[in-house]
């Protein structure tokens, strides 16, 4: 999931554990936008492995949207 800031990413990570029962702590990664040097111009990624597709993509999309983000699938 791609989120606009660290606070949103942390909230989504907590919600994944609470609402989706994710047992492994989601990984937070800062992703600087291409060509941007300013620390303010960064997105935050919440990385969740779901190889068995146990989580409903629509619900994950809704969670990301609640925090002004979106879900990206590989």
Asked if residue 73 is part of any domain, the answer here is no
**The total number of structural domains that make up the chain:** 1
> Domain span at residue 36?
2-66
Question: What pLDDT, on a 0 to 100 scale, did the predictor assign at position 36?
Answer: 53
Taking residue 8's Cβ as centre, other Cβ atoms within 10 Å add up to 20
pLDDT digits (tens, 9 = 90+) for 14-70: 999 999 988 888 999 998 765 555 555 689 999 988 888 889 999 999 999 999 999
Asked if residue 74 is part of any domain, the answer here is no
Question: What pLDDT, on a 0 to 100 scale, did the predictor assign at position 33?
Answer: 63
d(CA 49, CA 3): 17
Asked if residue 22 is part of any domain, the answer here is yes
Asked if residue 9 is part of any domain, the answer here is yes
This prediction's pTM:
0.83
């Amino acid at each position: 999931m791609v989120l606009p800031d660290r606070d949103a990413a942390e909230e989504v990570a907590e919600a994944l554990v609470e609402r989706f029962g994710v047992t492994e702590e989601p990984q937070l990664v800062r992703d600087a936008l291409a060509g941007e040097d300013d620390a303010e111009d960064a997105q935050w990624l919440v990385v969740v492995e779901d190889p068995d597709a146990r989580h409903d993509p629509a619900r994950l999309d809704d969670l990301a949207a609640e925090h002004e983000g979106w879900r990206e699938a590989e």
